[in-house]
Structure 1
Amino acid sequence: MPFGIAAFRIGVYALWPFGYTAVERRDAGAPSCIGNVLWLVLAGWWLALGHIATGIALCVTIIGIPLGIANFKLIPVSLLPLGREIVRTDQPFTAAATTQRTGW
């Protein structure tokens, strides 16, 4: 189940990466770490290599540079997706992270 949610998160972020960023969740815990290791071995490095290759290919042309940069933004999420959250760039911290940071 967590791998399906992570794959959906990557898909939504890949569909429209502009104006969004990935932040780490501080409350992720040990299960997400174990899941990230499994993900990295089974699927993460293939996805990251694909994003690197397409990012380089897109940056060859002037028109493709924004899309190439978007592909490079997808590399950390495709490598280790569990324990991350996609937020808008004008809100770089999640509500949970703000609560933990300020104590409110």
Structure 2
Amino acid sequence: MSCLGNIIWIIFGGLIGAIGWCFIGIIWCITIIGIPVGMQCFKMARLQLAPFGKKVVTVSDSSGNLLMNILWLIFGGLELCITNIVSGLILCITIVGIPFAAQSFKMAKLALMPFGKEVI
């Protein structure tokens, strides 16, 4: 069932979100200091393409992750969060879209603070 959900998800918004994550990841990878942030963006792009059947857990709450999350929020996270929230609100219009909206809201929450998170 998660395979079918992922295919429908890609068609109705997942691909656009993944392109956004990749674009911001490429921007971050321009500098050497931003490469870890860019790599995290590419991990989140994979999750954006296929969120069904996957779970996001918090691995660590270190001060380094907090600093990176603050920088991330300022330089790219807020835009991705707003994109996923708008997508989720549009998907909530129909009853069939509610599971997809839940995935979009999950990605919006993750777009705010992606560091210290692991995808299982």
TM range (shorter): 0.7 to 0.9
Question: What pairs up with 1:2-17 in 2 under 5 angstroms?
Answer: 2-17=36-51
Instruction: Pick the structure with more strand per residue.
Output: 1
Identity of aligned residues (%): 34
Instruction: Pick the structure with more helix per residue.
Output: 2
Question: What pairs up with 1:65-76 in 2 under 5 angstroms?
Answer: 65-76=98-109
- TM superposition score normalised by structure 1: 0.76
| Count of residue correspondences | 86
- TM superposition score normalised by structure 2: 0.66
Structure 1 unmatched ranges of 5 or more: 88-104
Local SS of the residue matching 2:55 = strand
Query: Who is 1:30 aligned against?
Result: 63
- The letter for the 1-side match of 2:72 is W
Distance 2:88 2:65 in 1: 27
CA RMSD in angstroms comes to 1.3
Distance 2:110 2:95 in 1: 25
1:63 Cα shift? 2.7
Bigger Rg over Cα: 1
